[in-house]
Amino acid sequence: MFDRIVIAVDGSDEAKHAATHGLDLAKILNATVDVLHVVPQKALRLTQTADEQTRLRDRGEAALSEIEELASERDYPIMSTLSEGKPAAEINEYTAEQNADLIIIERQGMTGLGKRLLGGVTEQVLHQSDVPVFVVPDADQMIEGTTEYGRILISTDGSENAEVATQYGTAIAQPYDSDIHVLNIVDLQAAGGAFNAGGLEKEFLERLETRGQEAVERGENEIEDTAPDLDVVTAVERTTSFEGGCCRRP
């Protein structure tokens, strides 16, 4: 399912960390790897001399060389490319041109804002991409030295998109022999409305949870059909989205 992977880097420590995970994942999947650095068009427009533009491009080449060294340490061949333009658009266009199956990118790199969950480029790639996007968290949020995935969470709402996501999640889980947790969330406020003060009727809640249970069971069956040796755990949980709290079923 993942035959060709594009790893996008911007020269930041976060991007190097993401590339490390991307290379290790590609190796276990035996996937072809393209590493891409995009020199931002906006940054080039702000330069005043040819020398400044050259320095920007040199930084991009240095970022690619750093990943090439990581690949060499793993004895894994990659192809690296330097391009110019709007980063998110260039990443998605390059991915399409290479007929790649997966994009790997850091959560927040040089262009990210400290208080945002994701960097601006990463958000745009997620919204615009036609292929799955693997977003790697910052290094301080992960177990040091770990690039394996022992447990994978797949959330499902029972939709066709969720079924596709289950297939991709299973494809990553198989080579790692991961445990898979299939989760459905019953959002009480989304179901009853933000201003629902009287609560939801018991029968209505039961129907929502029944649908959730059917969704996770379909996900479990799909996983077992393609990867019968993997352990699967299912759960249906209640949440109140606007308050940010979560209530587990008794």
Phi, psi of 199 (to 5 degrees): 85, 165
> Would residue 146 count as lying in a domain?
no
Question: Which helix (H) or strand (E) is 34 found in, with range?
Answer: strand 32-40
Return the top range by mean pLDDT from 98-102, 108-112, 187-191. Answer: 98-102
Domain region containing 8: 4-141
pTM of this structure: 0.83
Say what the pLDDT of residue 144 is: 53
Q: The domain spanning residue 204 has which CATH number?
A: 3.40.50.620
Mean per-residue pLDDT, 48-56: 90
Last residue of a domain, one of 77, 109, 141: 141
Say what the pLDDT of residue 141 is: 55
Per-residue confidence band for 164, with pLDDT thresholds at 50, 70 and 90: very high
pLDDT at 242 over 80: no
Per-residue confidence band for 241, with pLDDT thresholds at 50, 70 and 90: low
Mean per-residue pLDDT, 8-36: 94
Say what the pLDDT of residue 191 is: 63
User: Is the same domain home to 191 and 135?
Assistant: no
**Pairing state between β 151-155 and 179-187:** parallel
Whole-angstrom CA distances from 81 to 65, 134, 164, 220 are 10, 20, 30, 40
Mean per-residue pLDDT, 56-80: 96
User: Is the same domain home to 13 and 135?
Assistant: yes
Question: Which helix (H) or strand (E) is 153 found in, with range?
Answer: strand 151-155
User: Is the same domain home to 173 and 232?
Assistant: yes
pLDDT at 243 over 90: no
Say what the pLDDT of residue 117 is: 41
Mean per-residue pLDDT, 158-182: 95
Q: In the predicted model, what is the mean pLDDT of the chain? A: 86
Dig out the tokens for 199 from the structure: 């609560």
User: Is the same domain home to 175 and 94?
Assistant: no
Cα angle vertex 131, ends 167, 221, to 5°? 10
User: Is the same domain home to 14 and 100?
Assistant: yes
Q: Return the half-sphere exposure (C-beta side, CA atoms, 13 A cut-off) of residue 62.
A: 9
C-beta separation of 235 from 181 below 8 A: yes
pLDDT at 116 over 80: no
